[in-house]
A and B are shown apart, each in its own frame.
Chain A
Amino acid sequence: MTPLGGYLLVAALMFAIGLAGALVRRNAIMVLIGIELMLNSANLNFIAFWRYGTHPEALTGMMFAIFSIAVAAAEAAVGLGLVIAIYRHTHTTELDKINRMKG
């Protein structure tokens, strides 16, 4: 296995773990944590391709990762704000129990 393959496999595993977390947990915050893990594994792929790619001086993968980190931070802030707003309305963060369209 080449080094690139190792990094890609770790990223795939982290993506699967994050996906599982987002799918099987009940709590809305845990779903957000799962999404963050998936975003991180995607960043790992970008950096790995940048490092072992043919044009590292073009910085494409690195830039993608940096922008994706910035966007993920914004996503986390808004997502957690939404969770807190939902908690105020329904007094729960369990996704199974938030099943009414009426606020």
Chain B
Amino acid sequence: MTVVFYLIAAITVAGGLAAVLLKNLVHCALAVTIAFGGIALLFLSLDAQFAGFVQILVYIGAVAILIVFAILLTRGSDVPKDGVFSPTWLTGVAIASAVFAVMGWAVINSVNAIPQLAAVPHVTVHDIGVALVGSYVLPLEIVALLLTAATVGAVIVAMHEKGGAE
């Protein structure tokens, strides 16, 4: 538990909180970008270089941009007059805190029982590549199929309907 960990964790949590609490949707999207970046830094601090860079590439480079595009396409950048939180926000906060309480309690009580290796695992990108096309080749193919289907699906869903728009 070093200073670096506390710093990154603080950035991540602050980004997440800001994303949930800010009123302007574009600010929310930028705050969630900070949270994504913080998670990537946490990955790097866990010696998972590959996962960290993939996280930056996919989340900051693609998902964050998708979100801001969607916000601008739905005119979401103006702050609505009747508040941004739903009328039942108290229930939502209660559920979320209950979930956190249960998970935190479970973690604190059980984490010392798990065997933990302190040694840094020596895993190169080469090993990850071999594993991806070796024992994990079926999930890889399924993910490829899923991504293709998702691309086609997203295009069809978001496409202008013929006749209606013209």
1/0 per residue B13-41: CB within 8 Å of A?
Answer: 10011011000010011001001100100
Contact A84 B13 (CB under 8 A): no
How far, in angstroms, from A101 to B117 measured CA to CA in the complex?
53
Q: How large is the interface on B (under 10, 10 to 19, 20 to 34, 35 or more residues)?
A: 35 or more
Interface size on A, residues (CB 8 A): 72
Contact B114 A76 (CB under 8 A): no
Q: Inside 8 A of B66's CB, which chain A residues have their CB?
A: 76-77, 80
Contact B111 A19 (CB under 8 A): no
Contact B107 A12 (CB under 8 A): yes
How far, in angstroms, from A83 to B154 measured CA to CA in the complex?
10
Contact B54 A27 (CB under 8 A): no
- Give B61 Cβ to nearest chain A Cβ, in Å: 10
Q: Inside 8 A of B149's CB, which chain A residues have their CB?
A: 74
Q: Is the interface of A mostly helix, strand, loop or mixed?
A: helix
Q: Inside 8 A of B43's CB, which chain A residues have their CB?
A: 43-44, 47, 65
- Give B111 Cβ to nearest chain A Cβ, in Å: 4
Contact B157 A82 (CB under 8 A): yes
**Chain A 34-72 residues near chain B, CB threshold 8 A:** 34, 36-37, 40-41, 43-44, 47-48, 50-54, 56-57, 59, 62-63, 65-67, 69-72
Contact A2 B76 (CB under 8 A): no
Q: Is the interface of B mostly helix, strand, loop or mixed?
A: helix
Q: Which interface residue of B29, B85, B103 has the most chain A CB atoms within 10 A?
A: B103
Q: Which interface residue of B20, B108, B114, B123 has the most chain A CB atoms within 10 A?
A: B20
Q: Inside 8 A of B5's CB, which chain A residues have their CB?
A: 3, 6
Q: Which interface residue of B70, B91, B131, B139 has the most chain A CB atoms within 10 A?
A: B70
- Residues of chain B touching chain A, judged by Cβ–Cβ distance below 8 Å, are 1, 5, 9, 12-13, 16-17, 19-20, 25, 28-29, 32, 35-36, 39, 42-43, 46-48, 50-51, 54-55, 58-59, 62-63, 66-67, 69-71, 73-74, 76, 80, 83-89, 91-93, 95-97, 99-100, 103-104, 107-108, 111-112, 114-118, 121, 123, 127-128, 131-132, 136, 139-140, 143, 146-147, 149-151, 153-155, 157-158
- Residues of chain A touching chain B, judged by Cβ–Cβ distance below 8 Å, are 1-10, 12-21, 23-27, 29-30, 32-34, 36-37, 40-41, 43-44, 47-48, 50-54, 56-57, 59, 62-63, 65-67, 69-78, 80-85, 87, 93-96
Ranked nearest first, the 9 interchain pairs of A and B with the lowest CB-CB distance are: A23-B92, A56-B121, A16-B100, A74-B150, A20-B96, A21-B20, A81-B154, A24-B92, A5-B111
